Amino acid sequence: MPVLAGRELRIVGFLCNWCSYGGADTAGVGRFTQPTDLRIIRVPCSGRIDPLFVVKALLGGADGVLVSGCHPRDCHYASGNFYARRRLEVLKGMLPVLGFEPGRFEYTWVSASEGQRWQQVVTRFTEQIHALGPSPARDILAPRRGLASGKGGDSARA
Amino acid sequence: MQELDALKQRIVEALPGLDCVIGWEPGPSPLTAAPLFMRTPADVDRLVWGPFNAPNTAVYLPAFKGRKVGVVVKGCDSRSVVELIQEKLVRREELVVFAMPCRGVADASKVAGRVGDLGQVSAAARDGATLQVTTPEGMAAMPWDEACADKCLNCQYPNALVSDHFLGDPLAPAQGRDAAADEMGRFEAMAPAERMAWWAQAMDRCIRCYACRNACPMCVCRDHCIAQTRDPHWVSQEDGVREKLMFQAIHALHLAGRCTECGECQRACPVDIPILALRRKLNRVVKDVFDYQAGVDPQAVPPLFTFQVEEAKINERGW
Amino acid sequence: MDQAKFLPDASLAAWLAELSAARLVLAPRREGGAVVFKPYDPAVPLELTRDATVPPKGAVFPACEELMRYRRVKDPEKPGQPLLEVEESLPEGGVVVFGSRPCGARGFTVYDRVFDAGGLNDPYYAARRKATAFVTLACREAGSACFCHWVGSGPADPDGSDVLLTQVPGGYVVRAVTEKGAALVGSGLFSPADRREGEEAAAHAKARESLDDPRDLAPARQALLDAFDDMEFWSQLSAKCLSCGACTYLCPTCYCFNITDEAQGNEGARLRTWDNCMSFQFTLEASGHNPRPTKAHRLKNRVGHKFSYYPGLHGGAIACCGCGRCIRSCPVGVDIRQLVLAAVERAREKSHD
């Protein structure tokens, strides 16, 4: 995060290739102003999203995770988002028991043509995460120790 | 005990047509019973039924798929059997289920809290509403309500939900306190960061033996768990609480809508981590959102195996 | 070694403070229903009334230890060949394990023959072993799963310990077992044990009496080899085993490990972690073939290794300290004593045929 060092948080977005990813693109083409905290991972369908993707991101120190797929009845694969809706709803209920504030994870629907809507979603979610601040997991779950103490060692060609 | 003798008789009669019948025999300590695989009438003589029959016999059933097998169950074990039938992990026609009404099982960890070192216990017996435990210091009596597993306090299914041979008079559901709700209340009273710190502290002593997983009757991947693949790399070999908690999340989420809350995960934990809390929370969510309880109806479809176009209780996020 | 000394109960905390000044002291405490070794904290009560659930093996053989760190660095001269920087991470600092039982400390004598003997030397293990001292507490009473006397040990066995404590009225009789131990008991907190040596001997005798009659495990070495191909025998014995790793991870003598590189981007660490022969992955080969495909094969290995293969390689020494943790902590009551005796019994029956 070189540009906004210290001011940006780490937000991971899992977006369906057929809708929300296009929606984000539409927002970009339309030159809508958006916050830049979100890092997008494109998936073929919201039904592809294992709730564990979200847990892994959060335990790894992500400050927020956003999932966005096709509106119900609009799934490219007919029913992927219906299954996703159930799984993600259950996940949403479970995360607080691990100690993540309820707002750190959200799921929503944005179609490829909804550039404006994408702008609103990403802005609102980013604001929500900024209101919560950095994730407690970063300190409490002791992320990987920093590498190389600088006390010198051997080196070789791989 | 008349009913137990009748049960043994039924098992002996059924044995010739079965690979084996799974029940319990006295375990290495007076407070435990160990699973027993009965193949001969002499094996059946060792069968016990009582307050120490904690292990869930259903955990062994999927390995017998394709063979005809008998199983002795408590009410809670029968829910695991039902869930396995629902998921087609066992076939009803390949099972012969034996059952008696269950009056609850002891929780060794609670008993240890009262008498200290369980290794020193030389005898234990339930006498109505008390559990009597003999140690070198003498005999200690503790109220059964404080010695039994949490799930037994308000057990709604003391009689097997599925059985071919049921011996004895069915019992009424237990009326005790809802220990799961109490635990959830304690969790909810904590601030989020406090809750995470609590987990970090509890999981720190986890030795990653995966007894929680292997004791779980619904963990049917057995030797092929995703926690042990290198690719994808769900959990690393690092020793931190992050990895340990990730594994708990994997287990819990794979049980969403399937967990019958038998509590074997927590009972199996050698370092006594209250990991059942995660599963309990998920069960509550599933109950609230889908009005569903796992392992009750053999015909029901688990909620995450299906969907409805209009979900009655899911509040679509309007943004 | 030195004469026996006496440490009054009231001086225990002062001694622990003294030990903590220069080293990390690991002491047993209660967490939930478990007793685990954690860095000593005067504010947290010690749990010395019963043996720890998790033995102190992590002090010398951590559940996860970093062997080295590495980093790939781009070299502008040779863009296709990054430079690999490697830095080994040898352990530093002294450790005292306080309050382990004799079985927990004796487990390392089993490790020594594997990791630090003859021509074999594991520098990580050797460094930790050298830097770690065991202040052991003799047992007062045997538990139902204890069988240390079957494997040639006992409730006051000093083998593997550096200092042996015995609880007597009013305090502890303290005996330095090794030079390393003698250096820990030199302060003014100790007085000569004198007449208390009699109380010490009585305590040892009482603990010894609380054990049952030992069984002779010498025939197990051949009996287990004889039963190697009898998979029906092992299938029956392992029927209830859940194939989890509680027995091996809690075992003070199980020393199998795995080595993996855990990378993140261009840098990472090479880790050595406990492994467990009850796991399917333990012997899974890259081809997909697994020479131990069932839990019966795996349980056979666990028992065979401890009571037959290891003794065969190391002059008859049994790789089991009889602490009984695998029995106490098994969720389904698998009892290693019964397994060994069943193999011995099987051999006896066969010899009569």
How many residues does the structure list for chain C? 353
- Rounded to whole angstroms, the Cα distance separating B251 from B208 reads 13
Q: Are B242 and A143 in contact (CB < 8 Å)?
A: yes
The residue of C64, C66, C70 whose CB has the most chain A CBs within 10 angstroms, and thus the best one to mutate to test that interface, is: C70
In b/e form, how buried is each residue of B103-135, taking b as 16+ CB within 10 angstroms? bbbbbbbbbbbebbbbbbbeebebeeebbebbb
Backbone angles phi, psi at C246, to 5 degrees: -60, -45
User: Do B226 and B305 belong to one domain?
Assistant: yes
Interface test with B, best of C144, C290, C339 (most B CBs within 10 A): C144
pLDDT at residue A150, as a whole number: 40
Residue in A with minimal Cα distance to C88 = A153
**B319 located within any domain:** no
pTM for this model (two decimals): 0.94
Q: Is B308 on the interface with A (CB under 8 A)?
A: yes
Under an 8 A CB cutoff, do B202 and C32 touch? yes
* Residue B240 contacts A where some CB pair is shorter than 8 Å: yes
Distance of residue B268 Cα from the nearest chain A Cα, in angstroms:
21
- In this structure, what token pair is assigned to residue C292? 């131990």
d(CA C112, CA C314): 11
Q: For the segment B213-234, what is each residue's pLDDT rounded down to a tens digit?
A: 999 999 999 999 999 998 899 9
> Could you tell me which residues come within 8 angstroms of residue A31 by beta carbon, excluding any fewer than 6 positions away?
none
Q: What are phi and psi of B99, to 5 degrees?
A: -155, 160
Do you know the residue count of chain A?
Answer: 158
Shared-domain flag, residues B234 and B287? yes
pLDDT of residue B193: 94
Quickly count: other Cβ atoms within 10 Å of residue A123's Cβ: 15
Mean of pLDDT values over C267-273: 95
Tell me which chains share at least 3 CB pairs under 8 Å with chain B.
Answer: A, C
Q: Give percent above pLDDT 70 in chain B.
A: 99
Choose among B34, B118, B239: nearest Cβ to C332.
Answer: B34
Q: How many CA atoms lie within 13 A of B272 on its CB side?
A: 18
Its sign, for the CA torsion B106, B110, B115, B118, is: positive
Q: How confident is the model at residue A153 (pLDDT cuts 50, 70, 90)?
A: low
**Minimal Cβ distance to B268: which of C34, C279, C331:** C331
Main-chain dihedrals φ then ψ at residue C30, nearest 5 degrees: -95, 130
Q: How many C-beta atoms lie closer than 10 Å to residue C60's C-beta?
A: 25
- From the number of C-beta atoms within 10 Å of its C-beta (0-12, 13-18, 19+), residue B89 rates as middle
Q: How far is C206 from chain B (nearest CA, A)?
A: 13
B45 and B187, same structural domain? no
Angle at B223 between CA C67 and CA C35, to 5 degrees: 60
CB atoms within 10 A of CB B49: 24
| Domain A9-148: assigned CATH number | 3.40.50
Q: What is the DSSP string of B40-86?
A: SHHHHHT---STT--S-GGGGGGGGTTS-EEEEE-HHHHHHHHHHHH
- Per-residue model confidence (pLDDT) at position C211: 94
Count of the separate structural domains present in chain B: 3
How close are the terminal C-alpha atoms of chain A, in Å? 29
Evaluated on CA atoms B242, B248, B254, B255, the torsion sign reads negative
CA distance C101 to chain B (A): 14
The enclosing H or E element of B241 equals: helix B241-254
Rounded to an integer, what distance in angstroms lies between the CA atom of residue C282 and that of residue C300? 14
Beta-ladder partners of A154? C86
Residue A149 has a pLDDT of: 39
Is there a domain that residue B198 lies in?
yes
pLDDT class for A146, splitting at 50, 70, 90?
Answer: very low
Shared domain for B171 and B184, answered yes or no, is: no
CB C64 within 8 A of CB B239: yes
Q: For residues B98 and B10, is the Cβ–Cβ distance under 8 A?
A: yes
Residues A98, B249 contacting (CB under 8 angstroms):
yes
Nearest CA in chain B to A53: B234
Whether B60 maps to a domain, the answer reads: yes
The predicted structure's pLDDT at residue B246: 97
Section C91-103 average pLDDT? 95
Same domain for B187 and B171, yes or no, is no
What contacts C352, CB < 8 A, 6 or more positions away? none
Q: Which one is predicted more confidently, B317 or C39?
A: C39
Query: What percent of chain B has a predicted confidence (pLDDT) above 90?
Result: 94
The answer as to whether B284 is a domain residue is yes
Residue pair C107/C55 in contact by the 8 Å Cβ criterion: yes
pLDDT reading at A144 higher than 70: no
- Residue B18 pLDDT grade (very low, low, confident, very high; cuts 50, 70, 90): very high
**Is A153 within 8 Å of C85 when comparing Cβ atoms?**
yes
Q: What are phi and psi of B166, to 5 degrees?
A: -115, 120
pLDDT at B247 over 50: yes
Whether B120 sits inside 8 A of C144 (CB atoms) is: yes
Residue C2 is predicted with a pLDDT of 61
Residue C330 distance to chain B (closest CA, Å): 7
Tell me the C-alpha distance between C169 and C146, whole Å. 25
Average pLDDT in the B34-45 region?
98
Gap between the Cα atoms of B40 and B144, Å rounded: 35
pLDDT at B192 over 90: yes
Nearest Cα residue to C191 out of C15, C7, C14 = C7
d(CA B308, CA B310): 5
Chain B residues inside the 8 Å CB shell of A89? 285, 289, 311, 314
Asked if the model's pLDDT at residue C221 lies above 50, the reply is yes
Task: Residue B60: give the domain boundaries.
Answer: 1-102+155-175
Under an 8 A CB cutoff, do A147 and C268 touch? yes
pLDDT mean across residues, chain C? 95
How far apart, in whole angstroms, are the C-alpha atoms of residue B189 and residue B197? 14
Would the CB atoms of A99 and B285 count as touching at under 8 Å?
no
> Do B171 and B26 belong to one domain?
yes
Q: What is the mean pLDDT of chain B?
A: 96
Interchain CB distance below 8 Å, B253 and A55:
yes
Candidates B196, B259, B290: best to mutate against A (most CBs of A within 10 A) is B196
Q: Tell me: the pLDDT tens digits for C282-328?
A: 999 999 999 999 999 999 999 999 999 999 999 999 999 999 999 99
Please indicate whether, in this complex, the C-beta atoms of C281 and B228 are within 8 angstroms of each other: yes
Proportion of chain C above pLDDT 90, given as a percent: 91
Chains A and C: how many Cβ contacts under 8 Å? 41
Which residues of chain A have a CB within 8 Å of the CB of B203? none
How many CB atoms are located within 10 Å of the residue B262 CB?
A: 28
User: Which residues of C are less than 8 Å from B272 in CB distance?
Assistant: 31-34, 53
Same domain, B30 and B165: yes
Residues of chain B in contact with residue A55, where contact means CB-CB under 8 angstroms, are 246, 249, 253
* Confidence (pLDDT) at B318: 66
3-state secondary structure at position A49: coil
Give the H/E segment covering residue B22: strand B21-26
Q: Among B218, B220, B87, B74, which Cα is nearest to B159's?
A: B74
Give the sheet arrangement for strand C257-264, strand by strand. A154-157, C83-88, C64-73, C267-274, C257-264
Q: For residue B318, tell me if it sits in a domain.
A: no
Cβ within 8 Å, pair B207-C333: no
Other beta carbons within 10 angstroms of residue A5's beta carbon come to 7
Of C81, C264, C268, the CB nearest to A157: C81
Residues C166-177: tens digit of each pLDDT: 999 999 999 999
Task: Spell out which residues of chain A touch residue B277, defining contact as CB-CB under 8 Å.
Answer: 97
Note the pLDDT of residue A151. 43
Say whether pLDDT at B104 is over 70: yes
Q: Is C108 exposed, middle or buried (0-12, 13-18, 19+ CB in 10 A)?
A: buried
Domains of chain C by residue range: 1-212, 215-353
Whether C340 shows a pLDDT value over 90: the answer reads: yes
pLDDT of residue C267: 92
Asked if B242 and A136 touch (Cβ cutoff 8 Å), the reply is no
Distance from CA of B24 to the nearest CA of A (A): 35
Q: Do C85 and A155 touch (CB under 8 A)?
A: yes
A contacts of C69 (beta carbons < 8 Å): 147-148, 153
